[in-house]
Structure 1
Amino acid sequence: MTTEEENVKNLREGYERWSTSKGDRDSVSYWMALVSEDELRWRSLADGAAGMEFTKVGSSKQDVQLYFDQLAQDWEMVSYTVHELVAQGDRVVMLGHCVWKNRKTGKLLDTPKADVFRFRNGKIVDFLEFYDTATAIAATT
């Protein structure tokens, strides 16, 4: 059984790679290795809204890979900061802040960020991200 501490350690490593590499393929590969093969729910507050179609609900590793691919296609990471990781049982919450630039419009998304994870046997089985969706959607037009 994986402990809270191991889940936090794995996420801390993932976010460190994510922020320093600006979301490159190696950091995405690290995240994909944390995702469950057989049970998964991957969600975003934008929920597939116009201009943010990549945020539709995912239920497979393939869906998560598509999420990362389309995110990188549409957005350029400017900065990503983790303020804290809070764990209780099989859940870990990341509280942070990020800035993204829309590749088509050049507009910035500068927003607080919260990610909620649920783990089973060391793998992510549930993910939900919270951020300023109004500003994100506005940045796409």
Structure 2
Amino acid sequence: MTAEEERNVEILREGYRLWHESRAESSDYWMKLMADDVHWRSLGGGAAGSEFTRECSGKPLVQKYFEEMGSQWEMLGYDANEFIAQGDRVVMLGACRWRHRKTGKVVDSPKADVLRMRDGKLVDFMEFYDTAQAIAATT
């Protein structure tokens, strides 16, 4: 791994650690890590019951993503198990567990995030998880 790849992995590893420890109560680290023109996407794609997962660009809209997610879901755990880096891209492989605040249903899903960094800042994010299970938990 190059020095830049190692630096990107360490920056992101810290973000995932803090995310897990705060149980999604604080997105501060992630917001500080993002470039102003960040592009944020989710496999959920704004599906009914998970509208916050719609594609967005810019820090204010990503902040809204975090706020809406937190109002609907309670994090039970988030494990960032493996990081794979190549050039400006890092892939995180792990798992997450969330409880829907309205229905009480729990989602336990594998998780993969593909992130692109530029000069130590997050510029692109795409998340993959069990969307069928997440959507089913909202009703």
Aligned to 1:96: 94
**TM-score normalised over the length of structure 2:** 0.96
Shift in Å, 1:40: 2.0
- Paired AA for residue 9 in structure 1: E
Shift in Å, 1:83: 1.1
Shift in Å, 1:120: 1.0
Q: Percent identity among equivalent residues?
A: 58
Misfit runs of 4+, over 4 Å: none
For the residues of structure 2 that align with 1:103 and 1:15, how far apart are their CA atoms? 22
> In angstroms, what is the RMSD of aligned CA positions?
0.9
Answer 1 or 2: which has greater strand percent. Answer: 2
For the residues of structure 2 that align with 1:55 and 1:87, how far apart are their CA atoms? 25
The number of aligned residues is 137
2:32 paired with 1:19: no
For the residues of structure 2 that align with 1:132 and 1:68, how far apart are their CA atoms? 18
Aligned to 1:9: 10
For the residues of structure 1 that align with 2:18 and 2:94, how far apart are their CA atoms? 15
Matches within 5 A, 1:58-97: 58-97=56-95
2:113 paired with 1:119: no
The alignment partner of 2:56 has SS state of: coil
What 5-or-longer segments of structure 1 have no aligned partner? none
- Paired AA for residue 12 in structure 1: R
Aligned to 2:28: 29
The alignment partner of 1:24 has SS state of: coil
Shift in Å, 1:82: 1.2
**TM-score normalised over the length of structure 1:** 0.95
The alignment partner of 1:6 has SS state of: helix
For the residues of structure 2 that align with 1:137 and 1:131, how far apart are their CA atoms? 11
Per-residue displacement from partner, 1:46-95 (whole Å, max 9, x unpaired)? Answer: 10000000000010100110010011100000011111011000000000
Aligned to 2:106: 108
